Structure 1
Amino acid sequence: MQEIADHFLLQKEPARASTYAQLPPIWWSDQARRWFVTEPGLIRQIMSDRGFSVPDYSVEVIMDRLNIDLAASMKMRDYLPLAWEGEKHKALRNRMTRIIAANTRPACELFQDQLRKNLSAALAKGCFCFVQDVIRPTMRATLLRLSGYPDPFDPDLLAIEVTAHIFDDRVSPRKRKHANEIIRTIVEKLPDEMTEEDKYSVAALNVVGSNSLLATLAQSLLHILSPNSGTMSSQMNWKIDMPVTGLPLIEKVCREERELQGHTIRPGDQLRLFIETGGLSDGTQGYSDLFFAAGPHRCSGMAVSRQIWAILGDEMSRIEKKFRVLQTSERQGDYVFNFLDKLEVEIHA
């Protein structure tokens, strides 16, 4: 099997497409202490098998052991479908699906309006960062509207992307405390007339969307812009569906013993599913519905996410300018998302 320096960074390797292709469909990592799964068909099978469950993202043990306050994170977890199975998951998923469906149209209209405004201001600079100047401020307002909050407030408050750390079992207590403070502040800023359930549902949807969708938009932009510096944006292929996902993996836990590809998976074993391989199965990078998971935990936001990407692509197809990518950087200390925090470009003739 191909040698991999850091198993926890496999999904960030520039040449990971070829690396995935050379790996077995499922293999045990002594370094990561979990099974790694890279074959799309097997990933779908695991996602649809109730013998495997999602991590519960509980931080109760950490709170007790280190005596730190993570109460807001724990409370938000109660309204996070990703953290539950069975009837509770079904109820939370149905609730979030209804919220998203009810607010998709106004959220997409706001996204288009904010995108045009932020793009126009950025283009006037000649050199700008697509993440900081365009995507991040546009998505912050959009996600609030999508979660049912009608009037965006205090946009500088919503540095909510740091809450990605709640999905990472390697994160430090300091980062957990920071994420907890962001969640607590957001909940406190929401109107008093909102119920606790509504407030934490808003927080949960924004935590998930601000990380996965923002990361996916930025990575998909980079994927199209980077090899096309000599081409007008209006002539690039923006009609394709999002070609890259910013959430390259998800975790599962075995609850009932299973045999997979000749391996015995025992209760308590963790599995890391590299869902981005669904878009690499033909040797090229492109859209896969596996980006949104499969089975009972299939993402409720798939339809609106694809609409938002289509709006972004449509706006980019109207720009009669060329872009050259100057510099990119990814969020440090993130072992879950492929999250660009910098995508600097210049406009050139």
Structure 2
Amino acid sequence: MTTNVDREVALPNLMHASAYVNGIPHDLFDYIRSQPGLFWFPVEGPITEHGGVWILTRTKDIREVDGDGERFICGLGLLHPMMMPMEDTFMGDNLMSMDGARHARVRRVIARGFGPRMVAGFEPWIREIVTETLDELVATKGPLDYVPAVAAAIPSRVIARILGVPLEDRPFIVRITTDLFAATQGEAGQDVVANLTRVFQELFDYVETTLMPLKREHPGQDMSTVITQGFDAGEVTLKEALFLHQLIMNAGFETTHTTIGRSMWLMLEDPEIERKTWAALDEVGSGLVVDEFLRYISPVIHFVRVAAVETEVAGQKIRKGDQLAMFFTAANRDPETFTDPHTFDPWRNEAGSLTFGAGPHRCLGAPVARLQVQILFEEMAKRNIRLRMAGEPKRGYSNFINAIAEIPVEVISGS
């Protein structure tokens, strides 16, 4: 299979946030997917050895790359434009940046907090958080922004509870969680790394000097206790422990926040999607409905892997050091995996979604994210809460998250 570079088709820089200001360019991803082999996209970056990146849009190709942590590593860089050696950044001690034995060691610690029995115990108090959030929503008179009121409020409050943060400190954690997300959504020209570093330092100071000492004195059934005990047992370093707290906040927020916000945007923008959603909730329950929103929205746009060896994918020779951009948002519209993939079908019962990744880096918190959105839809249906758009919604600015910034709404029914 030959290298696939099409000079006649004008493409935006798919590795830059500017390509997504008007939404995900699914027509371009469809075109790329229709080409044989992999698609080579010229792009510059601090560690782009060969002057470009391979664009992956098919489910089977992404599963192969994301599932093979020996041939394809993430320690050299996760995404564009922050493509730089991880040892030169604050991200080197983040679980998402690790490979091999180190990744397995650190992941084992955090996995203890996401076991089936522990997650099953989350349901009652997550429902309480959702109920309280909806109480606040319906009590609001006039227009409001659905993003901070619901899409951000629910996951940030859930994260504070999962970490076992004391009640008096939870407003701080809610703010830091939203600040972390906002730091990655800056408009063109803003220094993402500097913004993140500032927020990380504020979080790490709190975790090291307040939260971890508290968990030593008063351990609980929470993630901060699990991480602190892992550190005290020598299973993770202090930096790794701090970044595990950050990972729970970032990863626990982004997917849920985006799915809650964008699902409502879709429903209010398209009456047919809203009709299908409420009908399917009544007929098949929240599980299939939420899975379809997760597929259709695809909160995470892409991750990058780097070839650790010379190899081959989809018949294409890959050089050692080549970067491969796995576009989950494209794979979730792959017609080889999903019937009529560009149609929202909440009755769909097809496996294959890559919303939470595949292989050794598959998201541990996927059941918690899914549970929050399911409970939200269940409670909105039960209380007959309906909204209407009260202004122009606004997208976030990111090449990584299919983000929303504002959704002006009004409550028109419900209690």
Contact 2:77 2:305 in 1 (8 A): no
- Which of 96, 104, 107 is the matching residue for 2:119? 104
Contact kept, 8 Å, 1:148 with 1:202, in 2: the verdict is no
Q: How does 1:185-334 map to 2 (within 5 A)?
A: 185-190=202-207, 191=210, 192-194=213-215, 195=228, 196=238, 198-228=241-271, 235-238=278-281, 239=286, 240-242=289-291, 243=293, 244-281=297-334, 282=339, 283-284=341-342, 288-325=352-389, 326-332=391-397, 334=398
**Of 195, 201, 223, which residue of structure 2 is paired with 1:184?**
201
- Using structure 2 for the length normalisation, give the TM-score: 0.70
How many residue pairs get aligned? The number is 338
- Residue range with higher mean Cα deviation, 155-164 or 46-55: 155-164
1:105: Cα distance to partner? Answer: 4.3
The residue aligned with 1:43 is 62
Q: Tell me if the contact between 1:131 and 1:343 (Cα under 8 Å) persists in the aligned partners.
A: yes
Aligned pairs for 1:79-94 (under 5 A) are: 80-94=94-108
Q: What are the ranges of 5 or more consecutive residues in structure 1 without an aligned counterpart?
A: none
Residue 120 of structure 1 corresponds to 135
Q: Secondary structure at the match of 1:241?
A: helix
Task: Report the more deviating stretch, 176-185 or 235-244.
Answer: 235-244
* Distance 1:221-1:91 versus aligned 2 partners, 3 A rule: farther
C-alpha distance 267-62 of structure 1, shift in aligned 2 (>3 A): closer
The TM-score with structure 1 as length reference comes to 0.82
1:95/1:63 CA distance change after superposition, 3 Å: closer
Q: Secondary structure at the match of 1:153?
A: helix
Are residues 165 and 114 of structure 1, via their aligned partners in 2, closer, same or farther at CA, if it must alter by over 3 Å?
closer
Counterparts in 2 of 1:117 and 1:234: CA distance versus 1, 3 Å: farther
Q: 1:162 to 1:330 in 2, by over 3 A?
A: farther
With over 3 angstroms needed to count, the CA separation of the structure-2 counterparts of 1:221 and 1:56, relative to structure 1, is farther
Q: Report which stretch shifted further, 222-231 or 235-244.
A: 222-231
Within 1, Cα distance between the matches of 2:142 and 2:119? 32
Which range is displaced more, 188-197 or 266-275?
A: 188-197
Q: Distance in 1 between matches of 2:168 and 2:320?
A: 44
Unaligned runs of 5+ in 2: 1-5, 45-51, 216-227, 229-237
Could you say if the C-alpha distance between residues 6 and 57 of structure 1 is closer, same or farther in structure 2, counting changes exceeding 3 Å?
closer
Return the offset for 1:57: 5.0
Question: For residues 322 and 178 of structure 2, what CA distance do their matches in structure 1 show?
Answer: 29
Aligned-residue sequence identity (percent) comes to 18
- Determine if contact 1:258/1:266 at 8 Å carries over to the other structure: yes
- Mapped contact 2:267–2:274 kept (Cα < 8 A): no
Q: Deviations over 1:302-325 (max 9, x none)?
A: 222221221111112124243223
Deviation at 1:110, TM superposition (A): 3.3
- The answer on 1:147 being equivalent to 2:163 is yes
Q: Residues 189 and 289 of structure 1: is their aligned pair in 2 closer, same or farther, counting only changes over 3 Å?
A: same
Q: Quick one: distance in 2 between partners of 1:306 and 1:48?
A: 22
Deviation by residue 1:171-212 (Cα, 9 ceiling, x = unmatched): 978432221221221222232344446544222211222223
Please give the per-residue CA displacement for 1:191-249, whole angstroms capped at 9, x wherever unaligned. 23444465442222112222233223322332334212896899354431241221121
In 1: Cα distance, 2:96 partner to 2:274 partner: 41
1:31 equivalenced with 2:74 (yes/no): no
**Per the alignment, do residues 161 and 54 of structure 1 end up closer, same or farther by CA in structure 2, a change over 3 Å counting?**
farther
**Partners of 1:249 and 1:273 within 8 A in 2:** yes
> Would you say the 8 A contact 1:163–1:207 is kept in 2?
yes
Deviation at 1:145, TM superposition (A): 2.1
Larger radius of gyration: 2
Q: Shift of the alpha carbon at 1:99?
A: 1.7
Contact kept? 1:233, 1:317, Cα under 8 Å: no
Cα offset, 1:148, TM superposition: 4.3
Alignment partner for residue 336 of structure 1, among 400, 409, 415? 400
- Alpha-carbon RMSD: 3.5
SS of 1:206's equivalent? Answer: helix
Contact 1:258 1:264 in 2 (8 A): yes
Q: Tell whether the 8 Å contact from 1:234 to 1:321 is kept in structure 2 after alignment.
A: no
